Structures are given as structure tokens and as C-alpha cells.
Amino acid sequence: MATRGHGHGHGHGGSGSRTRVGRYELGRTLGEGTFAKVKFARNVENGENVAIKILDKEKVLKHKMIAQIKREIATMKLIRHPNVIRMYEVMASKTKIYIVMEFVTGGELFDKIASRGRLKEDEARKYFQQLINAVDYCHSRGVYHRDLKPENLLLDASGVLKVSDFGLSALPQQVREDGLLHTTCGTPNYVAPEVINNKGYDGAKADLWSCGVILFVLMAGYLPFEDSNLMQLYKKIFKADFSCPPWFSTSGKKLIKRILDPNPATRITIAEVIENEWFKKGYKPPVFEQADVSLDDVDSIFNDSARREVGPVGPVAPVTMNAFELISTSQGLNLSSLFEKQGLVKRETRFASKSSANEIMTQIEAAATPLGFDVKKNNFKVCGCPFCFMCSPSVT
């Protein structure tokens, strides 16, 4: 649910043919996914810029995703905090669902590191305080993010941190009887050991681990756990095998070591982090309104069509998978090219298949060549070890 973007909206062409949705005039596309696109829009009543996530009802119904979409919307509606992307309203036409969200213009926090290198400790602390405020608030609402990573940390025009993408979050009713979450998700480098372990985990503790990795990256300019081999990376995460660079202050090092504790039972809690001396320096508790939120509109957007979604009642596995879920299902993939350089993680799309490499390549070539793509085979082979399937065609 990215609402990142730069600059403000278009000027108005003389044709006056802009698409209107309710009181919003739609502009350029900011991002596109399988089930949704995000467009820039302007509220014509007050001139405010927003981002509108547009979902195709048919696709949602076809893929039995009503539960997931409702969950995403309900989650966003429950959250009202200065450091979390705000959701204003939900509307629907016969064929589309429109989710109106806050539009953030400052780009990703990690673009700052990419362009300027690591942050000074005071600046890193300021962002970390805002991140902890946001995450602590979400937990108090029974919402766990479970996928905290650089792309989800946006900045507004005044440099205020905003956490986005609660699409993977779990509402209380999704917590198993043992009070633990059981969905493996997240980005390997930022993910807590107990999540990888798939033994059931406490969402709050797992989110805090990710915050610890983010704090390390802000202050160091590189990741605490890095390895070109996925199994080695997991081993490092399980043992919390990392070391702090010499420029970290002693109290900063101490806090990071308490957060990146591989045992969730002894890991510091968010309440304890907020009381920590290093954390408290220059800390301003957040000021925000308490919201009484009605979720009626969330149900009503599907009322005319919900009955057509037949099938077993109960949670339906979402059709979308992130890289990490994919890794978990394929007994470990060798993601060496994801981690080519020490530093921030490259974005790629990967998949696993039961078809042979040659069949896959033939299909990719057939689909890609007419579109003007060039398909290169990077010396692919199937390896005999029980963990890895290495095949890396690239389409350029």
C-alpha cells in the first residue's frame, strides 16, 4: 500500500476531462500491483492531495481475497497516529473499490542513507523514536505489522516518519489460541529468528526485532546480518551474530544488543525501550487524537458482491506471496544475487516452479521477446543439496 511519491499534483489541462471519484479528481499512477493501483488524487473541496488505492472487485472476488482486503482496510481504519499513513475513507463503484489515503511526498527514509550514507546518532534516534511510537501504538490496537523494512518507512514534506503497508498485519482474531502468530512473512534480513523458525511467535517482539535492525542500518549504513548464502544468513540471525561499528556510542550498542536478542523471552520489550536512557534523549511523546472508528463502510463495500464468493468459510490463504513466504515453501533458495554488495538489499522478483528450467526459459522467451525484452541465462544449474534450487534467468 505504498503512498510514496514526489512533488505535488499536475496542473489542470484545459480539457477538463479528469476522472472524478466522489470529491476526488484522479491524477497520475504512483504504483501498480496485481490487484491494485495507487493513483495520486486531489480533493476538489479543499485542494488536499491524497493517494487512492484502486482495487478491481472482480479480481478480488475471483481470487477469494475479500477477507484479506477487508482485513487490510479495517486495520488501516483502526490506526490514527502521526507516524502512520492515514486512511481517510473507503468508497466503491460497481466494479472498483477506492481506498483514500494520506499522500506522502518525502520519499523513503532509506533513500536518505543511499544518498548521504549513515545518519548521525541523534538523527537516527529521532527516526527510531518515531518508529517505536508508531509500532507501540499499533500494538496497543492489537495490530502487528510483521513486515517492517526500509520500503515501508516514508517521510512527509517536513521529514516526519510515516509507517506504511499494513497489508500483512494481523488483527486480533487472526491470533491462534496460543496467543501467537503463525504466518511466516517479512524480508529475510529484517526478520526475527523465531519467525523464520516457524514455531509461532509474539508479533510485538518480532516487530521490535525488525525495529532493531532498522536502527542498526540507520546508524551503520549497512545491515547487521548479511550473507550471500541464505542458510548462512539464517545461522547468523539465529545466533544474533553481528558486531557494532566503533562509532556507535556505548549506550547505543547496549540497546541494540538488547533488541537483537535471538531469544524472544529475554529480548527487551517496547515498554523497556521507551524507558531506556539512550532512547529517552530528546524524546517527545506523540500527540494524537483518539479515534472512534466505525467499520461499517468496510462491510458495505462488498455487500452487493460478497454473496458470490462461495467456498469454505474460514481463513482463505491469500493468493499473493512475498519473497519470504516463497522462500519458506521452497526449503530455502539461494538468494546470493540479492545480497551482492554489503549494504541495502536489492529489490528483485523471484519464483519457484516444478517445471524444468528449460521449459521455464522457453515460456519466458516466448512471452518476453515480442515485448522487446532480452532474456539472458546466467549460467543456471540445479544443485544437488537439499536446500537450494539455483536458476537465475534475467529479463532485461
Cell representation of residue 100: 483514500
Please give the pLDDT value at position 380. 58
- What band does 312 get if pLDDT is binned at 50, 70 and 90? very low
Q: Is the pLDDT of residue 253 over 90?
A: yes
Catalytic pick from 147, 202, 207, 227?
Answer: 147
Segment 51-67, tens digit of pLDDT: 998 888 887 777 666 77
Per the annotation, where are the binding residues? 53
Per the annotation, where are the binding residues for ATP? 53
**Domains of the chain as residue ranges with CATH:** 1-105 (3.30.200.20), 109-280 (1.10.510.10), 353-396 (no CATH)
Q: Is 261 a catalytic residue?
A: no
Please give the pLDDT value at position 200. 81
Please give the pLDDT value at position 390. 39
Q: Kindly report the number of other CB atoms within 10 A of residue 61's CB atom.
A: 15
Cell representation of residue 169: 498485519
Least confident of 25-34, 107-116, 338-347: 338-347
Highest mean pLDDT: which range of 22-31, 87-96, 340-349? 22-31
- What band does 196 get if pLDDT is binned at 50, 70 and 90? confident
Q: Is the pLDDT of residue 203 over 70?
A: yes
Q: Is the pLDDT of residue 264 over 50?
A: yes
Please indicate, yes or no, whether the overall pTM of this predicted structure exceeds 0.75: no
